[in-house]
Amino acid sequence: MADSEVDLQSEQYEKHREAGEILAQVREETAERVEVGVTHLEIAAYAEDRIRELGGQPAFPVNISVDEEAAHATPSIDDETTFGEEMINLDIGVHVDGWLADTAITVDLSGNPELAEASEQALEAAIDVVEPGVSTGDIGAEIEDVIDGYGYNPVVNLTGHGLGHWEQHTSPNIPNRAVSQGTTLEVGDVVAIEPFATDGGGKVTEGAKEEIFALEHERNVRNRQARAALDQITAEFRTLPFATRWLETDRAEMAVRRLKRNNVLHGYPVLKEDDGCLVSQKEHTVIVTEDGCEVTTAHRSG
């Protein structure tokens, strides 16, 4: 679509902005509640309930990643895990009628403020260069340069991403390092930029634990609980990720296992830094405008 044809005041973009405004408030309120002794489930439930109170819906379960975890960790149904003196990443999403915003923040209780600062400053540098015509590879170069300057490594096999309608991850990918063949951003693109910094080698791999799932294929299932779960998934979440604890059916964990075994669902294993080292994260959603970008998830005082 040519730049002149993009109406950044259309209903689509207004809903992206509404989602971002809700999300900025929830991110700040939730981060303030993270402290030693509080349970992961309390924090996830607070954020997800607050999103609904403010008129949005969670776009995915709140990710609460601790220390070497980078993504896809969320509490189970009866999770009693509490925070310790750890590095904690909160990754939160909101949608309004399927139009999304995505944000993340590190709450450092581990005594490593520079690692948290590295991802935060990398995000600011990346946003500063976003405009029509910029290559995503150049954005990645800014991220890599800042994180390297702190003496840390970017996580190179995680990227930022586009946000579609009812789609959490679409093109283009926004790398966290310089790449020679990036995608050129255009007016109207909605992208989440999310630098990850680590004091490890800079790669993540999948762990064994899964608590987040999404619809893969709709098909008939005979089991009553599995059928009830699938009905809720298709009606409420569509193709967006959800947590087992969101399901209202009896024996939800069993229902999810059945649906996954039948290739109805796919899971998101928790991603961990290869060397077992700390990971920090900071993320904003931006809309590319004619003269730069608009950060939809920026906190607005007052």
Please say if 91 is a catalytic residue. Answer: yes
**Annotated active-site residue in 108, 194, 210, 273:** 194
Q: Would you call 148 a catalytic residue per the annotation?
A: no
> Is 216 known to be catalytic?
no
Q: What is the residue whose two structure tokens read 């969670």?
A: 58
Active-site residue, selected from the candidate residues 161, 189, 199, 211: 161
What one-character DSSP code corresponds to residue 5? G
91 marked ligand binding residue: yes
User: CB–CB of 241/212 below 8 Å?
Assistant: yes
78 labelled catalytic:
no
Number of Cβ atoms within 10 Å of the Cβ of 75: 22
Determine whether the annotation assigns residue 283 to a binding site.
Answer: yes
Q: Is 169 annotated as a binding residue?
A: yes
217 annotated to a ligand binding site: no
Residue 138 assigned as binding residue: no
Pairing relationship of beta strands 279-281 and 196-198 according to DSSP bridges: antiparallel
**3 annotated binding-site participant:** no
Q: Which of 102, 117, 199, 273 is catalytic?
A: 102
Of 113, 136, 116, 111, nearest to 126 by C-alpha is 136
Phi-psi region of 98 (alpha: psi -120 to 50; beta: other; left: phi over 0): left
Residue 252: closest CA among 238, 263, 240, 265 = 265
From 21, 91, 108, 273, the catalytic residue: 91
Query: In angstroms, how far apart are the furthest CA atoms of the chain?
Result: 56
Q: Which of 169, 216, 253, 266 is catalytic?
A: 169
Catalytic residue of the set 95, 283, 284, 294: 283
Confirm whether 169 is a catalytic residue: yes
Give the residue ranges of the annotated binding site for a divalent metal cation.
91, 102, 161, 194, 283
Give the residue ranges of the annotated binding site for substrate.
72, 169
Question: Annotated catalytic sites, by residue?
Answer: 91, 102, 161, 169, 194, 283
